[in-house]
Structure 1
Amino acid sequence: MEGAFTGASRGGKKGLFEMAHQGTIFLDEIGEMPVATQVQLLRVLQEKEVRRLGSDTVTPVDIRIIAATNRNLLEEIQEKKFRADLYYRLNVLNLYLPPLRERQEDILPLGMELFNRLWPESDGNSRKTVRGILEKLQGYSWPGNVRELSNLLERLSLLLQQGAGPDFIRRYLLQSLPQIQEMGKGSSGGELLEWERERILRVLKENDLDLAKTAAALGYSRSTLWRKMKKYDIESK
């Protein structure tokens, strides 16, 4: 495939790196990049030049790279899936973005911003409905992070535009979000936050009150589990 890495073509079209000269290029999910392509990227970063396909002429490029990944690249290096030299070349400024489950205070403002973008002409009642749903979902662990939240808000906006009522939306959430569905089993209409409390108690019991194992089973960090136990007045023995 021509120019799979740079985007260049034999017909002389500029590649992505050449187009980004004196600018910034964003490489998403860099942990998924094949090792052979990592070699090409490292060469561009070291030599600061590219060569179009079929050409003997090199073109200097001055670019800033922003790369993102949800993988632990140090573990990938140990498993020979990511090059150490490329990692240290890229790792000039490392910014860690915690998963959504560890910054649940962001769920409401972020969710409302996403909803307003999806349906800017929505009325006050629809926004109130969404706000209420997001408040109840602050106990959800969001395994899909912001992508999952964004997809949920897109579905909610479509349901509301079709005139779906709160009861229908609530049933829909129980069917579409697996962890909420699990929390809701056997429930007689209790709130989502109460289901989360019951779920934490159950997993604590299953793991003999071992907080580290419980946090891992729930998909939480230790600090998040402590915060939720305090919130729900759950004591650790």
Structure 2
Amino acid sequence: MIPASPVLPVRRVRDLTVLELDAERLLVIACDSVGSIGPKRADRYPVDARTVAHFAARVPLVEVIAAGARPEIVVDTLSVEMDPTGAEMIAEIQAIASELGLGPDRVTGSTEDNVPSDATGVGVTVLATVARDDLRPGRARSGDRVLCIGTPTSAPHDVIAIGDPRMVPLALLADLVALPEVGDALPVGSRGVGYELGVLAETNGLAFHPVDHDLDLARSGGPASCVLLAVRPSAVARILDLAGSVPVTELGDLA
């Protein structure tokens, strides 16, 4: 019999599951799935295996980084055979994890080698840790300026490729979220920037006041192509400098 142990408190924070490990540390869990997009004959949208794996892993990695957490383990559950499709996917997931300093031993998972798969299925779960006081959601302050780092980009409207210059790179996002002037960060998904602005304001108990810009607020952010940052106005110039060629749009203020 497995000995009884205390049940650790768990809660939902936006799209994340947060488990309280102890008085100081939190386990942050994010996941994403992709189906019928890939190189197999029954896939609805033909894409090479490497690209599918990259963006399946990107979404949960962006989610935990935006929350201020450090990725620890990446789990891939691949509904494809190991050779050749699974091997290509695993190599790409290891590659994107390495951008954050995670070695191959931090990537684990499984493939389907018992039943032939005619369509692609991919699931990726990221386990991350963060100090309780460093969890980002809900830490924006009145007067913060809201920036969109990256441009909403999504298939089939856009051609999606690894290294797309319109998308915020993972390493850059990690550097930006670590800045003390950044209060909150929220990835933009398929519902678009406008929807996520409402979530950002509601989570922080504030109202959003827009400024003039030319960003399409209804455009899908697809695979977390861009991220909203709530920052102190004094840090905007520094963030623009750090972002370099990555597009940055000032959307308005929280109050």
Taking structure 1 as the reference length, the TM-score comes to: 0.23
| Larger fraction in strand | 2
| Larger fraction in helix | 1
Taking structure 2 as the reference length, the TM-score comes to: 0.22
The structure, 1 or 2, with the larger RCO (C-alpha pairs under 8 Å, 6+ apart) is 2
